[in-house]
Amino acid sequence: MERVYLDNAATTPLDKEVMAEMVNVMRNYYGNPSSIHAQGREVRTLIEKARKTVAGLLNATPAEIFFTSGGTEADNTAIRCGIAAYNIKHAITSKIEHHAVEHTLNMMLEQGVIDKLSFVDIDEKGNVDYVHLEELLKNNERSFVSLMHANNELGTLTDIERVGDLCEQYAAIYHCDTVQTMGHYKHDVRKLKAHFMVCAAHKLHGPKGVGFLFVNHNVKISPMIFGGAQERNMRGGTENVYGIVGLAKALEIAYAEMENHQQHIQELKDYLKLKLNEIPDVYFNGETDSEKSLYTVLSVSFPAMDMADMLLFNLDINGISASGGSACSSGSNIGSHVLTGIHADPNRPSVRFSFSKYNTKEELDYVVEKVKEIVDKNVAV
């Protein structure tokens, strides 16, 4: 069997239609979009057409979409510029956010940009305690809230409509990291109350190195990157034109095919969960109920092993690509901060299997076979 790729939460294969669109731009549209001549103008048209496509799918206006180098830049821009624009001194997040959020907020606290960083309580499955969130909002000055839609390691979903309502009630600015869910769920930004949402194209069969930041029209921020008038004076630097075109095409395909792909991938996830449940002492991290969990992610906790750190390596040499780790051990910073945040057992290795539209049931049968062999050989007696 060819390699089985189950690390789609890290990155996805490029869709052939997306590649074709990008190759066309690379071959035929080489003008600088900031140039006023005909070749520049036609490239500018491609960018604005892509912006209009993205905005239309999200029910946003084109003026609310800013193209970036990916999710990390978008998260950083939202957090750093949003906090600065409103001189906010208190931020709220969780201990299982992506490092693009966690490290940025920690840096802002260390530098004195914010005076206080609060962590909302989460349970052992990664669910936000909304009562505690409201207490934090109520008992502090105006806050900046950064809570992701779906956890990238666990798959647990946050009720972002509920978070948005709470933020509106207490006049908080709300940034939602939607990297894992953009293109997998339909987002209507007019119904959601997030001020910032983000996308990385490579999570939805688009190219690496490009994404976007949605900035609600009610929010006014200054740029993080200076040097030019690109992106309506919000992001200096010549645009990644073929990446932007590829992003828009990937999102367009994702929306058109979403219902069928969601059903297909959910069936794969349920099937793998059922088969792995046959292994003694296996359990699943985070929520696995389809209403509470991202359908593309299944995080599995395996029994303690003699060489737990070799589990992913053993999968790899058997032709299976996945990711994972374990909770941080006492006194060590090595390990998953997400698994540590939900108090997972550091002696148990976890694997995140993440699926795409290209995966098949036959691939999963092979994965289950190899996983059982590895566990049988390595489980500590």
Local structure of residue 344 (DSSP, 8 states): -
Helix and strand totals (H; E) in the chain: 11, 13
Active-site annotation holds for 199: no
DSSP-H helix ranges across the chain: 16-28, 38-58, 71-85, 99-110, 130-138, 160-169, 230-233, 241-276, 311-317, 337-341, 361-378
Q: Each residue of 171-201: b (16+ CB within 10 Å) or e?
A: ebbbbbbbbbbbbbbebebeebbbbbbbbbb
Residue 91: beta bridge partners?
117, 144
The 3-state DSSP class for residue 327 equals: strand
Distances (CA, A) of 314 to 5, 50, 188, 225, 370: 14, 42, 42, 43, 9
Are 337 and 328 within 8 A, CB to CB?
yes
Indicate which residue of 167, 176, 199, 328 is catalytic: 328
Identity at 139, one-letter amino acid code: N
Question: To which residue do tokens 């919000």 refer?
Answer: 234
User: Which residue in 351, 307, 306 sits closest to 326, CA to CA?
Assistant: 351
Identity at 74, one-letter amino acid code: A
Q: Which two tokens stand for residue 273?
A: 């969960």
Are 68 and 100 within 8 A, CB to CB?
no
Catalytically active residues, by annotation: 328
